[in-house]
Structure 1
Amino acid sequence: MPESPEVQVLVEFLDQQTVGRTLDDVDVLEFRAIKTRTAPPTGLVGRTLTGAGRHGKHVALSLDDGTHLVVSLGRHGWVRWRPAGSDDAAPADEPPALAEFGLAGGDRFEVTDAGSWVSLGLFVVDDALAVPAIAKLGPDPAAPEYSAADLDVALGGRRKQVKAVLQEQESIAGIGNAYSDEILHLAKISPVVHAAVLDDAARQRLYEATVATVRGAIDARRGIPIDRLKAAKVEAMRVHGRAGEACPVCGDTIGEFTFSGAAAQYCPTCQTGGVQL
């Protein structure tokens, strides 16, 4: 699943490559991806791109008429860049394009979705906040103004597992399954403990780990080609996706459990007092 560090670097790339360029052609190949049927992406032909921004895990491209093309990446969505003159056919091992956007000069970009169902969404709106998922987003740990008080609001006195809170977009924007595992490992907090029982010291560790993990990952991904960002994310994980391997901190075997239908990883020694989840 795309998460804020990789999406931030993707947005920075798109901002660098597309601003000031006109959309010469738009071809939607999977119409289920269109979420604003009265304002389809094909209506953007002839418009000039003026900027790219990120809202949580969503990409928002602004245009010269004041509208925004919002790409909600969903569970498996991404963007593929196709330089002018590149082969029209995508490699067989890459996910299919759901829509293609041709730019003046011959470059184009494609939005892709690798899932068995269409999770990616395309919106053409006057304001990115018109997209319901964006309107509901909580504060973003990548933002310089994000504070420990913001995290305290998200945690509150809730009888909800802290891993679930970290992934709850309405409370904290941009974090998914992978980075929540990494944050909790760095903070030395069990993923299944309820937010309500965290003391002040644990909340401070969680805040520091959240900010360090998200911002550190953004810095580490900059300069990596966008088609390598997902692989770079996987390679950088300390515990997520590392079940059965040695914890890089204490050497214990990293454990795994199922959380909301997905596999999550943790270190029993660092996080759960030796208890296997």
Structure 2
Amino acid sequence: MPELPEVQALVDFLTERIVDDAITAVELGSFSVLKTYAPAPQAFAGLVVSGVSRHGKFVDIDCDGLHLVFHLAKAGWLRWYDEVPRAALRPNKSPVAVRVRMLSGGGFDLTEAGTRKSLAAYIVDDPAQVPGIERLGPDPLADDFTLDVFAQVLAGRSAQIKGVLRDQSMIAGVGNAYSDEILHVARLSPFAKASALDEDQVARLYEALRETLRSAVVTASGKPAAELKDAKRAGMRVHGRTGEPCPACGDTVREVSFADSSLQYCATCQTGGKPLADRRTSKFLK
């Protein structure tokens, strides 16, 4: 799933290519991807793109006040063309959910692999009309996201810290992969209770959150959309690296599996050497 750094890179990528260009058509390859009913996609024809921005994991294309907003979800991605295929999309005949054609001849597809379709697009006059954006918590890279603000987010939260980091209503933009990375850098167990962290741990986690995301944004910056997934995987310290040596201490990276996801961590760095039990068979070890 694309997270804040990759989504920001996509925003920068699109900004360079479509701002001040006009949209000639927005075509749907999947009618279920569009979560709004009015205005219709045809309303974009002839409108000039005035800006591209990010709200958490949402991309927002502003066209003279009409917004095309999309969330790539777990298996979605953006495919750029310098010359868009001329053939019109045939609904439900390919992984392409949305195609955007630009006056310059370029454009992009929003694609989604697999059978579980969760990629979502919205056509709105105001991004705040998108339910997921309306519920977003603060952006962790914003200038006003201070240590005090972060401490307030955590205060009184009995949830496990990995869940808090991934909750978009608390902190916008972090998902499964970067929460693993942040917690490894902060040397904290994924299952520590947010409200139980002391001042030093909160400060450590805050710095790890900001620096991990900043570094990932720098790494992703300037890369073509087609290279962002590989760049993300290559930059991971523990996420997706089960069985490999921890880059900090050399211990073996371990995994906890869930029904439809998993997390990775280093027991030496994060849990005092204690392996975390698989939730499917036993309780977590703290």
TM exceeding 0.5: yes
Q: Secondary structure at the residue paired with 2:137?
A: coil
Counterparts of residues 83-162 of structure 1 (less than 5 Å): 83-84=82-83, 96-162=95-161
CA distance in 2, matches of 1:51, 1:165: 31
Q: Is the 8 Å Cα contact of residues 254 and 264 (structure 2) preserved in structure 1?
A: yes
Q: Is the 8 A contact 1:3 1:57 kept in 2?
A: yes
SS at match of 1:5: helix
Indicate how the Cα distance of structure 1 residues 198 and 260 shifts in structure 2: closer, same or farther if over 3 A, else same. Answer: farther
Paired residue secondary structure (1:165): helix
Query: Is 1:217–2:195 an aligned residue pair?
Result: no
- The corresponding residue for 1:16 is 16
Cα drift, residue 201 of structure 1 = 0.4
1:88: Cα distance to partner?
6.7
Which secondary structure state, in structure 2, belongs to the residue aligned with residue 26 of structure 1? strand
Instruction: Report the more deviating stretch, 53-62 or 119-128.
Output: 119-128
The percentage of aligned residue pairs carrying the same residue is: 45
The one-letter code sitting in structure 1 at the alignment partner of 2:22 is T
Distance 1:12 1:45 in 2: 23
Deviation at 1:25, TM superposition (A): 1.8
Q: Offset of 1:85 from its aligned partner?
A: 6.6
Partner of 1:207, secondary structure, is helix
Alignment match, 1:69: 68
Give the CA deviation at 1:258: 2.4
Query: What residue number does 1:92 align with?
Result: none
Q: 2:272, 2:87 → 1: CA distance?
A: 54
Does the 8 Å contact 2:180/2:238 carry over to 1? yes
Q: Distance in 1 between matches of 2:78 and 2:22?
A: 18
Distance 2:186 2:215 in 1: 15
Equivalent position of 1:53 in the other structure = 53
Asked if 1 retains the 8 angstrom alpha-carbon contact of 2:219 and 2:231, the reply is no
Q: Is the 8 A contact 1:4 1:56 kept in 2?
A: yes
1:27, distance to aligned residue in structure 2 (A):
1.2
Q: Which runs of 5+ in 1 are unaligned?
A: 90-94
Asked if residue 168 in structure 1 is aligned to residue 189 in structure 2, the reply is no
Matches of 2:26 and 2:222, distance apart in 1: 28
Name the CA distance, whole Å, in 2 between partners of 1:114 and 1:136: 27
For the 8 Å contact 1:186–1:209, the answer to whether it is kept is: yes
Superposition CA RMSD, Å: 1.8
Paired residues in the alignment total 272
The Cα offsets for residues 30-57 of structure 1, whole Å up to 9 and x where unpaired, read as 0000111122323211211110000000
Aligned counterparts of 1:8 and 1:154: Cα–Cα separation in 2: 23
List per-residue Cα deviations over 1:7-31 (Å, max 9, x = no partner).
Answer: 0010011111101111112210100
Distance verdict in 2 for CA 1:85–1:179, change over 3 Å: closer
Determine the structure 2 residue equivalent to 1:190: 189
Whichever residue aligns with residue 268 of structure 1, its letter is A
Flag structure 2 segments of 5+ consecutive residues without an equivalent: 89-93, 277-286
SS of the aligned residue for 1:46 comes to coil
Distance 1:242 1:88 in 2: 41
Residue 41 of structure 1 contacts residue 122 of structure 1 at CA under 8 Å; is this kept in 2?
no
Deviates more, 1:151-160 or 1:201-210: 151-160
For 1:88 and 1:143, locate their aligned partners in 2 and report how far apart those are by CA, in whole Å.
42
Give the match's secondary structure for 1:276. coil
What is the CA distance between 1:74 and its match in structure 2? 1.5
Q: Secondary structure at the match of 2:132?
A: helix
Q: Which amino acid aligns with 2:122?
A: F
1:31 matched residue in structure 2: 31
> 1:268: which partner in 2?
267
1-structure distance, mates of 2:169, 2:48:
32
How far is 1:225 from its partner?
1.1
| Structure 1 residues 70 and 39: alpha-carbon distance in aligned structure 2, compared to 1, 3 A threshold | same
Aligned-pair distance for 1:87? 8.7
Counterparts of 1:57 and 1:85, CA distance in 2 = 25
The answer to whether the Cα contact below 8 Å between 2:81 and 2:106 also exists between their aligned partners in 1 is: yes
What secondary structure does 2:100 align onto? strand
In the TM superposition, residue 242 of structure 1 has moved relative to its aligned partner by 0.5
